[in-house]
Amino acid sequence: MNRFAEVRTWPLLAFALLVGLQAIVLTVTLGGYAVDGWLAWVGVASLALTVLLAMAVVSTLARAQARARLAQRTMEEAIDALPASVEIFDAEDRLIAYNRRLVEIYPHMLRHFQRKCTFEDLVRESLARGGIPEARGREPEWLEERRQARGKQLTPLLQRVHDDMWLRIYESRTPSGGIVGVRMDVTDLIHEQQRLAASRAQLRATIESAANGILTLDSGGHVLEANPSCELLFGFTASELQGVHVGMLLGAASATAAPAGATPDIPLDPRSLLGQPREFTARHRSGEALHLQLAIAEVRTDTIHLYVCIVTDLTERKRQEERLRRANELLARQSTTDGLTGVGNRRLFDQLLQTEWQRAIRAGRPLALLMVDIDHFKQYNDCYGHVSGDDCLRRVATLLRSCAGRGGESVCRYGGEEFAVLLVDTDLAGAQVVAQRCLDSVRLAAIEHVGSPVRRSVSLSIGVAALIPQNGEGAHRLIQTADAALYEAKQAGRARLICQQQSA
Ligand SMILES: Nc1nc2c(ncn2[C@@H]2O[C@H](COP(=O)(O)OP(=O)(O)OP(=O)(O)O)[C@@H](O)[C@H]2O)c(=O)[nH]1
348 in the same domain as 494? yes
Count of domains forming the chain: 4
Query: Confidence class of residue 254 from pLDDT cuts 50, 70 and 90?
Result: very low
Measured from the Cβ of residue 226, the count of other Cβ atoms closer than 10 Å reads 27
Identify residue 133 by its one-letter amino acid code.
P
Do 373 and 486 contact (CB within 8 A), yes or no?
Answer: yes
User: Percent of the chain having pLDDT more than 90?
Assistant: 65
406 in the same domain as 362? yes
What does the pLDDT average to over 283-297?
89
116 in a domain, yes or no? yes
466 CB-contact burial (10 Å; exposed 0-12 / middle 13-18 / buried 19+): buried
Residues with CB under 6 Å of ligand 1 are 340, 373-378, 381, 386, 389-390, 393, 416-417, 490
Question: Which is catalytic among the residues 87, 171, 356, 417?
Answer: 417
Which residues contact residue 191 at a Cβ distance below 8 angstroms, ignoring those fewer than 6 apart?
Answer: 166
What does the pLDDT average to over 417-429?
96
Looking at ligand 1, which atom is closest to the CA of residue 389? Answer: 1
437 in the same domain as 396? yes
- Within 236-370, where are the H helices? 238-241, 246-252, 315-335, 346-363
481 in the same domain as 352? yes
Of 24, 46, 80, which marks where a domain is finished?
80
- What is the rounded CA–CA span in Å between residue 115 and residue 461? 131
Region class of 405: left (phi > 0), else alpha (psi between -120 and 50), else beta? left
What does the pLDDT average to over 329-348?
93
Query: Confidence class of residue 263 from pLDDT cuts 50, 70 and 90?
Result: very low
Task: List the one residue out of 351, 363, 491 whose CA is nearest residue 422.
Answer: 351
pLDDT of 393 strictly over 50: yes
326 in a domain, yes or no? no
pTM above 0.95, yes or no: no
139 in the same domain as 236? no
Task: Compute CA 286 distance to the chain's CA centroid, rounded to the nearest angstrom.
Answer: 26
270 CB-contact burial (10 Å; exposed 0-12 / middle 13-18 / buried 19+): buried
- What is the rounded CA–CA span in Å between residue 315 and residue 321? 10
Q: Which of 338, 371, 377, 455 to mutate to test the pocket of ligand 1 (most atoms within 8 A of CB)?
A: 377
223 in the same domain as 179? no
64 in a domain, yes or no? yes
pLDDT of 268 strictly over 90: no
- Give the C-alpha distances (Å, rounded to integers) separating 89 from 113, 144, 172: 11, 19, 10
> Which range of residues forms the domain containing residue 374?
336-501
152 in the same domain as 18? no
204 in a domain, yes or no? no
272 in a domain, yes or no? yes
66 in the same domain as 95? no
305 in a domain, yes or no? yes
CATH number for the domain including 478? 3.30.70.270
pLDDT of 504 strictly over 70: no
Query: Confidence class of residue 31 from pLDDT cuts 50, 70 and 90?
Result: low
25 in the same domain as 110? no
- Give the C-alpha distances (Å, rounded to integers) separating 280 from 194, 243, 283: 40, 20, 10
Average model confidence (pLDDT) for the chain?
A: 88
CATH number for the domain including 241? 3.30.450.20
Identify residue 30 by its one-letter amino acid code.
L
Query: Confidence class of residue 76 from pLDDT cuts 50, 70 and 90?
Result: confident
Per-residue model confidence (pLDDT) at position 50: 77
Of 80, 97, 123, which marks where a domain is finished?
80
182 in the same domain as 296? no
Query: Confidence class of residue 32 from pLDDT cuts 50, 70 and 90?
Result: low
Task: Give the pLDDT confidence of 212-242 residue by residue, as tens digits.
Answer: 999 999 988 899 999 999 999 999 999 999 9
346 in a domain, yes or no? yes
- Helix or strand run (H / E) with residue 28: helix 10-30
Q: 369: CA distance to ligand 1 center in Å?
A: 21
Query: Is 6 marked active-site?
Result: no
Per-residue model confidence (pLDDT) at position 246: 85
Of 49, 80, 111, which marks where a domain is finished?
80
266 in the same domain as 170? no
pLDDT of 245 strictly over 50: yes
Q: Whose CA is nearest to atom 11 of ligand 1?
A: 378
In eight-state DSSP terms, residue 164 is G
Report CA torsion sign: 426, 428, 430, 435. Answer: positive
User: Percent of the chain having pLDDT more than 70?
Assistant: 90
355 in the same domain as 486? yes
111 in a domain, yes or no? yes
- What is the rounded CA–CA span in Å between residue 225 and residue 209? 14
Looking at ligand 1, which atom is closest to the CA of residue 377? Answer: 20
Looking at ligand 1, which atom is closest to the CA of residue 387? Answer: 1
* ipTM entry: 0.98
3-state class (DSSP) for residue 215:
strand
